[in-house]
Amino acid sequence: MSKIKPAKGSPYARILGVGGYRPIRVVSNEVILETIDSSDEWIRSRSGIATRHWASPQETVAAMSVEASGKALADAGISPEQIGAVIVSTVSHFKQTPAVATEIAHRIGAVKPAAFDISAGCAGFGYGLTLAKGLVVEGSAQYVLVIGVERLSDLTDLEDRATAFLFGDGAGAVVVGPSDEPAIGPTVWGSEGDKSETIKQTVPWDEYRSTDSDQKFPAITQEGQAVFRWAVFEMAKVAQQALDAAGITAEDLDVFIPHQANMRIIDSMVKTLKLPEHVTVARDVETTGNTSAASIPLAMERLLATGAAKSGDTALVIGFGAGLVYAATVVTLP
C-alpha cells in the first residue's frame, strides 16, 4: 500500500482573471506592402487582417508579459505573493536558458514560485491552461499564472509574400485558481508530427551560427494551403470532441474563441461546427494579426473588455499550429 498522502488540492479549477498587452505601434497593411508585391485587398481577402501590433525594443517578451500579468492579477483579485507557479508559452524568447518565466515571476513580485517555459506554438495557451488546471487540482499550487506571449515580428521574413502580413506581437495572461464547480473542461489535445514541416523555422539556430553572415536571420515559414485544409477540416473535429468531453452541445455555447490565425479559417470552423447565431465569435485577428500563443487570451480579454462576452459565459477555446499540435477545451469565462 502506498504511503503517499492524498493531494490537498481543489476539486476543480477555473480562470479567475485575464489580462492582455498589445504593443503601442500599430502596423497597417500599407507598411507590409513596402516589401512584398501584393495589395491591401488581397491581404484582407486571404487573412482578414487589416492591422497588427509590432513591439519596440523596450517591449520585450518579459516586459509585455509583466504588463499582461499585472492586469490578470488585478482582474482576479489575487496578489503576486499568492502565485504558486508561472507558466509561459512562447516561441520567440531567444534565450535557451534561463526560462523567461523566472524573470517574469521576479518582476511581478511572486515569491519563489515554480516557473518554466513551454513551446507548443499556437496551441501553447491551451497546453499551459491544462497544466495549470492539473497543478491546482492536485494541490501543487493554489494559483497559477499562465502567459502566452510572442514577438513574432522578430521571426517574420518581410519579403515572404506568404507570411509577411500574418504575424503580430503581444501578451495575454490568465490566473487559474480553485473552483467549487467544473469551470475548465477536459482538454482534447495532441500532435501530428508527420506534418511538422508545414510550419517551421526556416533555419535551425545551429545551422545559422555555422554559416556565413549573408544568410537571412531565421524566420517562420509555412505551407499555407496545407495548413488551411488541416485547420478547417481536422480542427473542427477536435473542437467537437472538446464539446463532447465537456458534456455540452453547440447550443450550450455562449462564446467561441479559436486561435486567431486567419479569418477564413475561423469562419469555416463556425460553419462546420454549425454554431448557432447567438454564439459570439472572437475575430481579434483583424486588428491583432496572428500572435500564436498569445492569441486566445488576447481575444478573450478583448471580448470581455468590450462587453461582447460576459463573466460566466461558456466558451469553447481551441489553439492549433506548428508541430502540428492542438488543444481544445470548454471554459467558464472569468
Residues annotated as part of the active site:
122, 259, 290
C-alpha to C-alpha distances, 116 to 60, 96, 105, 154, 177, nearest whole angstrom: 17, 12, 10, 22, 18
How would you label 194-215 residue by residue, b for 16+ Cβ within 10 Å and e otherwise?
ebeebbbebbeeeeeeeeeeee
- Could you give the CA distance from residue 183 to residue 12 in angstroms, rounded to a whole number? 7
Tell me if 155 sits within 8 A of 201, measured CB to CB. yes
- Could you give the CA distance from residue 122 to residue 324 in angstroms, rounded to a whole number? 9
Q: State whether the Cα torsion 292-295-298-300 is positive or negative.
A: negative
Neighbours of 5 (CB within 10 A): 6
- Could you give the CA distance from residue 130 to residue 188 in angstroms, rounded to a whole number? 10
Structure letter (DSSP) for residue 166: T
- Could you give the CA distance from residue 262 to residue 50 in angstroms, rounded to a whole number? 11
